[in-house]
Amino acid sequence: MSEALANLLNETRQFPPPAELAANANVTAVAYEEAAGDRLAFWERQAGRLAWAQPWEQVLDWSNAPFAKWFTGGRLNVAYNCLDRHVEAGLGDKVAIHWEGEPGDTRTVTYADLHRLTCQAANALTELGVTAGDRVAIYLPMIPEAAVAMLACARIGATHSVVFGGFSADALTNRIQDASAKVVITADGGFRRGKPSALKPTVDEAVANCPSVEHVLVVRRTGEEVAWSAKDHWWHETVETASPEHEAQAFDAEHPLFILYTSGTTARPKGILHTTGGYLTQASYTTHAVFDLKPETDVYWCTADIGWVTGHSYIVYGPLSNGATQVMYEGTPDTPHKGRFWEVVDKYKVTILYTAPTLIRTMMKWGEDIPAGYDLSSLRLLGSVGEPINPEAWIWYRQHVGRGELPVVDTWWQTETGAIMISPLPGVTEAKPGSAMGPLPGIVADVVDDQGQSVPNGGGGYLVLTEPWPSMLRTIWGDDDRFLETYWSRFGAGANLGDEWVYFAGDGAKKDDDGHIWLLGRVDDVMLVSGHNISTTEVESALVSHPSVAEAAVVGATDPTTGQAIVAFAIPRGSAETSGEQGEQLIAELRNHVAKALGPIAKPRQIMLVPELPKTRSGKIMRRLLRDVAENRSLGDVTTLQDSSVMDLISSGMSGGK
């Protein structure tokens, strides 16, 4: 790709798995060999980890590629796999969810409880006229009912569409309309940042414009007053009074399980469709393999929201299909105090923690004294997901959360892939901080150049997936053409570059000298400076490797001489002085620091020291807004911002210049 790439990432640290973990790992190096030998037979064995009502005839039907069918002819029920079979195995009293509300209220939900509630909800939905194939929108806070609602839909074959509780009425309206949802499941509200945050008024506003919606089920969580209409039903009056008897019926392996809209900050959201057998196979297997989950002894905690795919696959379907005990937390990491996460780890003796780089960097900013104040000795494995994790954050996570001993699995995947694709195996891989390392057994990935040719080690380009995988998206809901165009037309059969279908992930990536994969962020986030491709992530990584920088975001701004110029926004760490001459000095030092790390071509034209960065609610930096600032434009749409005051802070509190 570029010279800059060749200079990039001199990261050479490497951490082998702890001996004990390696000796007892669920999955060993043999899995790679088996999958390389016969990939479909490998996935067939993983499907065999589930309970099927009727076995499949064919593992993969790729005859209508890229529209895949996995485990054709097979029939199963997802909720049965997540609940009934554990209860039938005598594990009804086992805790499924240790739920912690933000205000500190708690609930302990066993597998028997979850099974009963799900059966009741399935009966209640059926009573409301929901049948297999209908769509149900779910707009809930992080309460056990969110999992129950999803499982109840799965149980009766209704396709759920979970909409993140932080989204606006417009976003909710679009998603309900796109899927023609018949029922909405919501709550009066949830707790966020120490106070009740209402949800029902947003649903009321949306439903007024959604004629497809016949009923709204409302969980009482905050107890706040809500407006009431003829379509509304209280959950506690409908679900909790319904019969707890419900026999799960098996559905076809390709029956639509859920639609989830990608969080896209630019274009119209895409309704990503996932189906039943292949999705559950891979969500379940990857939970077992990547987190080395031992359901008898582990306490697992994924800090994502159920509104994102991470919550679907690694709070609901992956952990529950494995019979895990997990923590579910309603609120924010700094309410009522900045040690809240560590307090939860300590309280429930969490052994496996799965969180996002944005959170880790926030924790870094708050300082290592905070985790040091809690007993984190129960932890044995750490995971990261959502964006590239820069080596400094990886090391901090291992050091200050993982006692300098624990494996960190950096897991790459997408809403579209349904489950983890590229990641270390904790008992096998010698992980490098900042690298997702390589594809899991049964997954085939590559990095290709503009022409779709595989790049040699040391080269960079685009991440592609060259073989179908069980939990792959089946289409974009209602828009097969967009599915073909977005994912399958860039390389391979779709563009007549070859006979093979090649999935374009939209991420830039490089292979290091050992062939390990480093994700560089979305390709729309790659800058073209004087003809060189430079990834925003790599410059950000270089910036945060400086001791005075807590977090950084980099954008390419139009520049008359270089095409695009690198403009960086950096949040200084704790005590660094940011104003006046000292600020100027720090900026000069940082520019040189980047030039030294990545080569002179990557030296930012401009660095601004800022107190905060604009992020979407899923923690992705909104570079579009920063580009507006960098190019002196008025700000575009800020409605998907997590905290709308951030841009005011940045515009007013900005210091530094060229």
Select from 286, 550, 256, 515 the least CA-distant residue to 392.
Answer: 550
Q: Which is nearer to ligand WT7, 428 or 465 (CB)?
A: 465
* Touching ligand WT7, residues 580-609 (CB under 6 A): none
410 is in an annotated binding site: yes
Q: Does 413 contact ligand WT7 by CB under 6 A?
A: yes
536 binds ligand WT7 (CB under 6 A): no
Q: Strand pairing partners for 107?
A: 99
Measured between alpha carbons, how far is 203 from 176 in angstroms, rounded to an integer?
Answer: 10
Which token pair is 76?
């199963």
Which is closer to ligand WT7, CB of 428 or CB of 519? 519
Min dist CB 595 to ligand WT7, Å, is: 25
Stretch that binds ligand WT7, among 206-214, 233-241, 333-341, 518-526 (CB under 6 A): 518-526
| Alpha-carbon distance values, 658 to 96, 163, 526, 584, 609 (Å) | 55, 42, 22, 9, 12
Closest CB 316 distance from ligand WT7, rounded Å: 14
Task: Find the shortest distance in angstroms from Cβ 504 to ligand WT7.
Answer: 11
Residues 73-132, interacting with ligand WT7 (CB under 6 A): none
Q: Give me the least distance between CB of 399 and ligand WT7, in Å please.
A: 19
User: Does the annotation flag 522 for ligand binding?
Assistant: yes
Distance CA 315, CA 304 (A): 8
Answer yes or no whether residue 72 interacts with ligand WT7 by CB under 6 A.
Answer: no
Q: Is 413 annotated as a binding residue?
A: yes
188 counts as binding ligand WT7 under rule CB under 6 A = no
Single residue of 178, 232, 507, 628 touching ligand WT7 by CB under 6 A: 507
Is 415 annotated as contributing to ligand binding? yes
HEC readout, 68-130: CEEEECCEECHHHHHHHHHHHHHHCCCEEEEEECCCCCEEEEEHHHHHHHHHHHHHHHHHCCC
Amino acid at 314: Y
Which of residues 401 and 607 has its CB atom nearest to ligand WT7 in the complex?
401
Q: How many Å apart are CA 349 and CA 178, to the nearest integer?
A: 42
Site for ligand WT7 in 617-636 (CB under 6 A): 618
Query: Token pair for residue 80?
Result: 């049965």
Residue placing its CB nearer to ligand WT7 in the complex, 179 or 437: 437
C-alpha to C-alpha distance for 433 and 223, rounded to whole angstroms:
45
The annotation status of 411 as a binding-site residue, yes or no, is yes
The reply to whether 646 sits in an annotated binding site is no
Question: Binding of ligand WT7 at residue 388 (CB under 6 A)?
Answer: yes
Question: Could you tell me which of 221, 313, 234 has the C-alpha nearest to residue 272?
Answer: 313
**Spatial CA neighbour of 314 closest among 399, 214, 240, 420:** 420
Q: Is 418 annotated as a binding residue?
A: no
238-277 footprint of ligand WT7 as x/- string (CB under 6 A): ------------------------xx--------------
Residue 619 known to bind ligand: no
Nearest-angstrom CA–CA distance, 188 and 197: 9
Least distance to ligand WT7, CB of residue 620, Å: 7
Nearer to ligand WT7, 203 or 304 (CB): 304
In contact, 257 and 419? CB cutoff 8 Å:
no
How crowded is residue 47: how many other Cβ atoms within 10 Å of its Cβ?
A: 25
CA 82 to each of CA 98, 150, 321, 324, 561: distance values in angstroms, whole numbers, following the listed order: 16, 11, 4, 10, 58
Q: Per CB under 6 A, does 386 bind ligand WT7? A: yes
Residue 236 CA to residue 126 CA, distance in Å, equals: 16
Our CB check for ligand WT7 shows the closer of 219 and 505 to be 505
Shortest Å distance, C-beta 524 to ligand WT7? 10
Q: Is 383 annotated as a binding residue?
A: no
- Interacting residue with ligand WT7 among 45, 482, 522, 617 (CB under 6 A): 522
Task: Give whole-number Cα distances, 187 to 97, 166, 446, 580, in Å.
Answer: 19, 13, 44, 49
Question: Could you tell me how many residues of this chain bind ligand WT7 (CB under 6 A)?
Answer: 23
The CA-CA-CA angle for residues 65, 66, 69, to 5°, reads 75
d(CA 212, CA 182): 5
Q: Is 549 assigned to a binding site?
A: yes
Which of 26, 222, 281, 415 forms a contact with ligand WT7 (CB under 6 A)? 415
Give the nearer residue to ligand WT7 in terms of CB position, either 149 or 302: 302
Can you tell me the distance from the alpha carbon of 39 to that of 110, in angstroms, rounded to the nearest whole number?
A: 36
User: Of 503-511, 577-585, 633-641, 647-655, which part binds ligand WT7 (CB under 6 A)?
Assistant: 503-511
**Burial status of residue 413 (CB atoms within 10 A of its CB: 0-12, 13-18, 19 or more):** buried
Residue 192 annotated in ligand binding: yes
Q: Which two tokens stand for residue 15?
A: 């951490």
Q: Which residues 291-350 are close enough to bind ligand WT7 by CB under 6 A?
A: 308-310
Give the CA distances from residue 131 to residues 126, 128, 211, 589, 605, in Å, rounded to whole numbers and listed in that order: 6, 9, 18, 63, 59
Nearer to ligand WT7, 148 or 505 (CB): 505
Q: What angle separates helix 536-544 from helix 580-598, to the nearest 10 degrees?
A: 120
> Which residue is it, tokens 């270390």?
424
Does 544 count as an annotated binding residue? yes
CB of 339: closest distance to ligand WT7 in angstroms? 25
Residue nearer to ligand WT7 on the CB measure, 150 or 650: 150
Binding segment toward ligand WT7, per CB under 6 A, in 318-326, 517-525, 543-551, 629-637: 517-525
Tokens of 161: 């569409």
Please state the closest distance from residue 416 (CB atom) to ligand WT7, in A.
7
Q: Least CB distance from residue 387 to ligand WT7, whole Å?
A: 5
| Residue 507 is labelled as binding a ligand | yes
Of 239 and 431, nearer to ligand WT7 (C-beta) is 431
The annotation status of 388 as a binding-site residue, yes or no, is yes
- 412 touches ligand WT7 by CB under 6 A: yes
Q: Which is nearer to ligand WT7, 72 or 414 (CB)?
A: 414
Q: Tell whether 16 is in a known binding site.
A: no
Rounded to an integer, what distance in angstroms lies between the CA atom of residue 600 and that of residue 539? 12
* Cα 70 to Cα 82: distance, rounded to the nearest angstrom: 20
Given the structure tokens 């062939």, which residue do they identify?
515
Among 358, 411, 475, 578, binds ligand WT7 (CB under 6 A): 411
| CA dihedral of residues 517, 521, 522, 524 (deg, nearest 10) | -120
Question: Looking at beta carbons only, is 238 or 435 nearer to ligand WT7?
Answer: 435
Phi and psi (nearest 5°) for 546? -85, 135
Task: List the one residue from 335, 414, 489, 545 that touches ligand WT7 (CB under 6 A).
Answer: 414
355 binds ligand WT7 (CB under 6 A): no
Peptide bond before residue 144 is cis, with ω within 30 degrees of 0: no
Under the binding rule (CB under 6 A), the answer on residue 378 touching ligand WT7 is no
- The residues that touch ligand WT7, with contacts defined as CB under 6 A, are 262-263, 308-310, 385-388, 410-415, 436, 505-507, 519, 521-522, 618
Residues in the annotated binding site for CoA: 192-195, 310, 530
Residues in the annotated binding site for Mg(2+): 544, 546, 549
Residues in the annotated binding site: 192-195, 310, 386-388, 410-415, 507, 522, 530, 544, 546, 549
Residues in the annotated binding site for ATP: 386-388, 410-415, 507, 522
